[in-house]
Structure 1
Amino acid sequence: MPSETVLPDRTDSGTPAETPLRLVGIHKSFGGVVAIKNFDLDVKAGEIVALVGDNGAGKSTLIKIISGLYQPTEGEIWLNGQEANFRDASDARAKGVEVVYQDLALVVDQPVYMNMFLGRELTTGPLKILDRKRMATETQQLVDALDVRIPSAKATLSDLSGGQRQGVAICRATHWASSLVLLDEPTAALGVAETAKVEELILKLKARGAAILIVSHNMDQVFRIADRVSVLRRGTQVATRSLADTTHNELVAMITGLAS
């Protein structure tokens, strides 16, 4: 049987039993340089939170902390109600944290299904032969479920468009994430039409109950797909707002430091 994305349990009222991601007092210093200062955030199941700020604001540093590439100097990371202390990125992945980076981290000369199971290949028999049939079947089921329109799970990645490759990367994160998907500028290199397709896929993840934290420089995109937004400026958390309670101009003012 194919494995399925595991999403958080819910109460009868539809409220998540635990918050998939909670950051408490996150601080990160590199020597004498403070990159992140006292950052707090909850991301709920079935919610998209956008992380915005100018270049050098600390967005990517925060994503690397959540994904285990960096350890916070101070503060706590909680996943589904349990405190998490990651040794490295593989430890974070083992605990259900998946990241989609702008550069995708895909192998273009391999088929889609091999990219889906990259580093986690399924094998069969005593000789541990690659179980290509099972990997292809599970991959096809997932891309069909999320309506990622590719020719086949057996298609070579180099034959796909940028938007299709991004869709594969998001599918891979969905397949392995327990409840949390991190997206670091997932549409920065895409055109308008492909960006729209990727945003549609992100909204489908939300509808399936995933908690999503997305880094984006595209303010129009933030207002299209996010429920809340958290603003970073020079490593300091300026504000966290519901998109319904702010405006484009107010958001830009907070990013640039012109807010009153």
Structure 2
Amino acid sequence: MPTPLLEARGLVKHFGHVEALRGADFDVHAGEIVALVGDNGAGKSTLVKALSGVQSPDSGSITLEGQRIDHLNAERTRAMGIETVYQDLALAPTLSAVENLYLGRERRRAGVLGALGFIDKGAMRRGSKEIFSELGVAIQDAASPIAGMSGGQRQGVAVCRAAAWASKVIFLDEPTAALGVVQTRNVLDLVRRIRDRGVGVVLISHNMPDVLEVADRVQVLRLGRRVATFERAGLTMERIVAAMTGALSASEER
């Protein structure tokens, strides 16, 4: 079995007297989609925040390509090629799709003008067109404000922004929530394209049909621990729900 791209072992996280993670394990390989599922309060959000550098675990280990990494923060994980798309998308509504794609990573003009802080808007337009085209995201007018776009288009911009900078792993938190059938289909196709680029994709979702459609593996959290890991072949919604609720026997967890 190849070394996981990103792996967590025995993560523990307390918030006062509440133990959100109780020795949680997790792993994702390059070029695969891993669905992370569990009931509310299972520890999914806390685990993702620990892996993406937003929160530090109290104990346990995190490795990237087999090398242990300590003292993570959001800036460091981004520099290592790990990106996260949260449910709120973190888009600036008054800025365009192009400006959101390069938000915080704006391209500067060459020479003296760049040194003075002038932005190369032409290069950003061309770069965003290439990214949207490569990932199959249709934005009718990338220069228009995000506020005037549909939910599916906003989700596409947010995922493309993360995918543009994620060379290792991308976390997607409920990417199809509140989307219609066609928009959901477009987002799931986008997730597959990111996987096919060799990036490890972690899909956090309550939508079991979406999970069963795109995931290569499914990992289940319950009460702050990983209680089951399933391969996609032959997996049913009933087995996932049984693991989430504690009804699955130990012999069925893999």
TM surpasses 0.5:
yes
Higher mean C-alpha displacement, 189-198 vs 121-130: 121-130
One-letter code aligned to 1:202:
V
Helix, strand or coil at the partner of 1:63: helix
Q: Point out where structure 2 has 5 or more consecutive residues left out of the alignment.
A: 250-254
- The residue number in structure 1 matching 2:232 is 243
Task: Give 1:77 deviation, angstroms.
Answer: 1.2
- Superposition map of 1:1-260 within 5 A: 19-124=4-109, 125=113, 126-260=115-249
CA offsets per residue over residues 85-104 of structure 1, 9 Å max, x none?
Answer: 24421222122110011110
Helix, strand or coil at the partner of 1:130: coil
Task: Give 1:68 deviation, angstroms.
Answer: 0.7
CA offsets per residue over residues 4-36 of structure 1, 9 Å max, x none?
Answer: xxxxxxxxxxx97x6321112212112222111
Contact 1:26 1:74 in 2 (8 A): yes
Q: Distance in 2 between matches of 1:31 and 1:230?
A: 27
Helix, strand or coil at the partner of 2:206: coil
Task: Give 1:245 deviation, angstroms.
Answer: 4.7
RMSD: 1.6
Task: Give 1:222 deviation, angstroms.
Answer: 0.7
CA offsets per residue over residues 49-83 of structure 1, 9 Å max, x none?
Answer: 10101111110111111111100111111122322
One-letter code aligned to 1:179:
K
> Matched residue pairs, number?
245
Higher mean C-alpha displacement, 29-38 vs 65-74: 29-38
Task: Give 1:179 deviation, angstroms.
Answer: 1.3
Task: Give 1:192 deviation, angstroms.
Answer: 1.6
Q: Distance in 1 between matches of 2:10 and 2:131?
A: 36
Contact 1:102 1:189 in 2 (8 A): no
CA offsets per residue over residues 96-116 of structure 1, 9 Å max, x none?
Answer: 110011110001110111101
Q: Distance in 2 between matches of 1:255 and 1:188?
A: 20
Helix, strand or coil at the partner of 1:91: helix
One-letter code aligned to 1:251:
I
One-letter code aligned to 2:243:
M
Q: Distance in 1 between matches of 2:175 and 2:71?
A: 24
CA offsets per residue over residues 124-152 of structure 1, 9 Å max, x none?
Answer: 22311111111111111100111101113
One-letter code aligned to 1:234:
L
Helix, strand or coil at the partner of 1:62: helix
Q: Distance in 2 between matches of 1:233 and 1:19?
A: 22
CA offsets per residue over residues 141-195 of structure 1, 9 Å max, x none?
Answer: 1001111011133232122211111111111111111211101111112112111
One-letter code aligned to 2:189:
E
One-letter code aligned to 1:59:
K
Q: Distance in 1 between matches of 2:222 and 2:138?
A: 38
Contact 1:232 1:255 in 2 (8 A): yes
Q: Point out where structure 1 has 5 or more consecutive residues left out of the alignment.
A: 1-14
- Give the TM-score of the pair, scaled to structure 1: 0.89
Q: Distance in 1 between matches of 2:37 and 2:92?
A: 29
Helix, strand or coil at the partner of 2:233: helix
Higher mean C-alpha displacement, 137-146 vs 33-42: 33-42
